[in-house]
Amino acid sequence: MSNIIAVYGASGHGKVVADIAKANGYKDIIFVDDGLNDYISFEEFLNKFGNLIPIALGIGENRIRGIIYNKLKANNMKIQTLIHPSSVISKSVIIGEGSVIMPSVVVNADAKIGKGVILNSSCVIEHDNVIDDFAHVSPNVSLAGNVKVGSFSHIGIGACVIQGKNIGEHTIIGAGSVVIDDIPSLCVGVGVPAKVIRKNKPPSPDG
């Protein structure tokens, strides 16, 4: 079964993840989805294949992706990390289990990418960045050196963060924003320069 992979999530994001799997040589894709659709559910997949087939995370929403990751770990599944061949990744980069790196991404020296992270198309992750678990860096985002992005945070499309700044956990940075100061956890920051416009509620215990 070396040419077979499952993708958990059959929405638009899951389809992009499937394309990256194909670019990595996987011939057959099994979509797993627990919604009301024609795809195989995780319970059905587990009963049929057990943990013989690796599974990639095709869920775009950070909180749900974290929940699915924990469910897969609890069932001893092999969670696949996928990197599009067009991306440029320094040999010194550390990438966590279940992360997906999309086309034309650049990740430079000594960056650390957590588990279940999405680095979306054409984003730039400069040297010594830390992107914590289940964060999502959107297309065309540019993060200068020594930036930290907290777990479950989302950096909107085309945003920029200058060197040495910290984005907290469970924080959203709006599309096109320019971050020149730290943005704390549980916030929404937007604008040029980015300012906190709203506080978010703490996450529920399940993620």
Q: Which residues are catalytic?
A: 127
Q: How far is Cα 203 from Cα 193, in angstroms, rounded to an integer?
A: 27
* Closest to 198 (Cα-Cα) out of 174, 162, 164: 174
**Which tokens is 52 given?**
């013989």
CA distance 55 to 45: 10
Determine the residue type at 144.
A
Residue 184: asked if its preceding bond is cis (omega within 30°), the reply is no
Specify whether the CB–CB gap between 82 and 101 falls below 8 A. yes
**Mapping DSSP to helix (H, G, I), strand (E, B) and coil, where does residue 30 land?**
strand
Q: What is the CB neighbour count within 10 angstroms for residue 130? A: 18
What CA–CA distance (Å, rounded) separates 170 from 176?
Answer: 19
